Amino acid sequence: MGRKYFGTDGIRGRVGQGPINPEFVLKLGWAAGKVFAKTGRSKIIIGKDTRISGYMFESALEAGLVAAGVDVAMLGPMPTPAIAYLTRTFHAQAGIVISASHNPYCDNGIKFFSAEGTKLPDDIELAIEEQLDRQMTTVDSAGLGKVQRINDAAGRYIEFCKSTVPTGFSLRGFKIVVDCAHGATYHIAPAVLEELGAEVVVMGAAPDGVNINQDVGSTKPQALCERVISEAADLGIAFDGDGDRVLFVDRNGESVDGDEMLFIIARDQIRTSGSCSGVVGTLMSNLGFEHALQDIEVPFARAKVGDRYVVELMKSRGWLLGGENSGHIICADVTTTGDGIVAALKVLFALVDGGVPLHESKCGMNKYPQIMVNVGISDKSKLDKNPVIEQAVNDVEQKLNGQGRVLLRPSGTEPLVRVMVEGENSELVDTLAHELADVVKEAVV
């Protein structure tokens, strides 16, 4: 049964358009409340990032849940992974996040966590969608949900983050620039690093409702690169708007992406415990990352793009580490979902305890040049079994001579197909990517 509203990461869109409007979100809260209330008196936690529309949708969800007879605990602005953690610790039936992650402020979204702090099972999402088609009603006044605000949520999550590194771990002597993207980590990440002893230079920590991800954060690290150099800092850390992604910048102002971070963590696991069970990446993970893991004898597997698929493959393999080159990293030994702060601490522990600076640690992995070209396409079915495109892909693979990869990936959110080519020779890769994109463009018109 197909979903009408839920995508791979909740429901997301432009504020005021489609389902991302107050009327729909009110009913979504009610529908979710009715589904969870079937198990008895329920409590659901709500958190949000720093978008101006978050206040509106927070109120709408609260009203819908209360009308369904569900108690509500309000967290205010909190990172997405914090909501997953607090859902578990408060024994709530679900957690709801109001966020559009790395998107601009004019977008927003709603996603859910289960009582275990994981994505909702398919049957629950489908049950909520089925409930959305019914007439909204309100329980008797005596059965209305009650609302409370959790005032110590930030402190609880800060302590959790610090607990993911060994007791006694210290960042004393480190100067770190932290870019919070004017998002949900603005009052959390600096505190975690300062309490662990680092000298912290903070940027992107003055949210005003409309500046989230604006020229800052993990999707736009240039400002952080420049700041690390001007401050003569040891490194920089950039989060995205909701705090589930993280990227590093070394002392030379060079970005360190999710693939490189995963490699550093995996290699450190071998140093500290003697082994790493395996790492799950995605179809977009760099070939150089795969080869680097092979060199240290760590198993590797690729999932479809999206943290949901990464987690599924991790569970099926029994592995505890996975993520995407975007910096969405899941450390399943300590948490249930992608967590930027936790992943950052894992990398920092590897650097401090291993005694090797970031710019040297990443040298164990040589990234292959990777070029991606977006091609507009209105009908993605035209890609399927297209002989012209198939021949063009085969031609590119032959020219790469076994030393590269080709990937055509339709976007899940835009009318685009992403044409990706990677290999050892950057000039050849760039030429082949654009040649293949031209063939795709001609074939799908």
Domain that holds residue 278: 257-367
Residues 243 and 266 in one domain: no
Which of 349, 367, 385 is at the close of a domain? 367
The answer to whether the CB of 201 falls within 8 A of the CB of 249 is: no
Domain boundary among 192, 223, 255: 255
Residues 114 and 45 occupy one common structural domain = yes
Q: Is 387 in the same domain as 310?
A: no
Q: For position 2, what pLDDT does the model report?
A: 63
Burial of 139 (0-12, 13-18, 19+ CB in 10 A): middle
Alpha carbons 20 and 299: distance in angstroms, whole number: 41
Tell whether 290 and 374 lie within a shared domain: no
Calculate the CA 54 to chain-centre distance.
19
Within 79-121, residue ranges assigned H as helices are 80-89
Whether residues 143 and 27 fall in one domain: yes
The answer to whether position 352 is within a domain reads yes
Q: Are residues 242 and 270 in the same domain?
A: no
pLDDT at position 437: 94
Domain count, the chain: 4
**Are 406 and 351 contained in the same domain?**
no
Instruction: Note whether 264 and 344 are same-domain residues.
Output: yes
Asked which of 255, 282, 304 is the last residue of a domain, the reply is 255
Examine the domain organization and report whether 15 and 141 are in the same domain. Answer: yes
* DSSP sequence for 247-294: EEEETTS-EE-HHHHHHHHHHHHHHHHS----EEEETTS-HHHHHHHH
Q: Determine, yes or no, domain membership for 156.
A: no
* Structural domain contains residue 188: yes
| 101 in active site | yes
Question: And the tokens for 129?
Answer: 């969608």
Same structural domain, 90 and 204: no
Same domain, yes or no, for 272 and 244? no
How far apart (Å, rounded) are the C-alpha atoms in residues 107 and 14?
4
* Distance separating alpha carbons of residues 310 and 300, to the nearest angstrom: 12
Burial profile 76-106: b = 16 or more Cβ within 10 angstroms, e = fewer: bbbbbbbbbbbbbebebbbbbbbbbbbbebe
With respect to residue 164, please indicate whether it lies within any of the assigned structural domains.
no
pTM for this predicted structure: 0.93
Q: Quick check: is 163 in a domain?
A: no
Q: Which of 42, 101, 114, 218 is catalytic?
A: 101
The answer to whether residue 162 is domain-embedded is no
One-letter-per-residue 3-state SS of 300-366 = EEEECCCHHHHHHHHHHHCCCEEECCCCCEEECCCCCCCCHHHHHHHHHHHHHHHCCCHHHHHHHCC
Rounded to an integer, what distance in angstroms lies between the CA atom of residue 182 and that of residue 49?
9
Question: Which CATH number goes with the domain that contains 241?
Answer: 3.40.120.10
CA 434 to chain centre: 29
Longest Cα–Cα distance in the chain: 72
Within a domain: 389: yes
Instruction: Kindly give the parts of the chain with pLDDT less than 70.
Output: 1-2, 412-413, 445
Task: Determine the pLDDT at residue 413.
Answer: 64
Question: Residue 17 domain-assigned?
Answer: yes
Count of CB atoms within 10 A of residue 173's CB?
10
